[in-house]
Structure 1
């Protein structure tokens, strides 16, 4: 047993089994791994035409993959600087609910010039592949950063 393992074994109460999986600490290597994966995915996903069902499926697949990795505990989550309370979280829940409701309503009813989706409004910015690659990269890295907190 290494020194670190001996210290952990000594700190454990007698009769208690060691944890099967220790959380992985966040390191520069972890951050660079995320950047590398995002840099690989972004150019591939950016080739898919915007505002199509394949683009939606790709976005859901990649987003679900990131959520799955975070839910599995890699890397270990950081403790919030202040405890998360309902008062602090409520504005974010309301914002997410309103945005989701608007997007779903326009998905069901269809985008109209008088009531366009956010995606339709931002669409002209992402016509070229270059901005879409940057958008995917920013979306992946920012989403990862938000989820691991």
Structure 2
């Protein structure tokens, strides 16, 4: 009987340990582009004459820890830095998962910089010191540039 209790206890500990390792590795995942790391959306906003006046950029970052990201978001267009303040909310997206939603409106001055940029990167961070700093891939950059023209 003791042997079965020990085996059951070891299985429970191994399963819980595996879950912790999975959650930690998900929250510390790596990627080569922003859309490979998280879900993003970019919408160019147009005035009544059809010209781009602003853009809305939204990030959905699913994590297992409960930290909310900082509201400070940086957008880099080539060598220019756009320091922006994002609206941040957190949604429960699974038993242990939470999705942090960062939304920001870009100023009209940033639109021409995006249209002419060879690279665009986004940077945001969490209170634990984790910083996500990733570029757009070529397809996303082309889409953004199409939205602001």
TM-score after normalising by structure 2:
0.30
Give the TM-score, by structure 1 length.
0.30
Q: Which of the pair is proportionally richer in strand?
A: 2
The structure carrying a bigger helix percent of its residues is 1
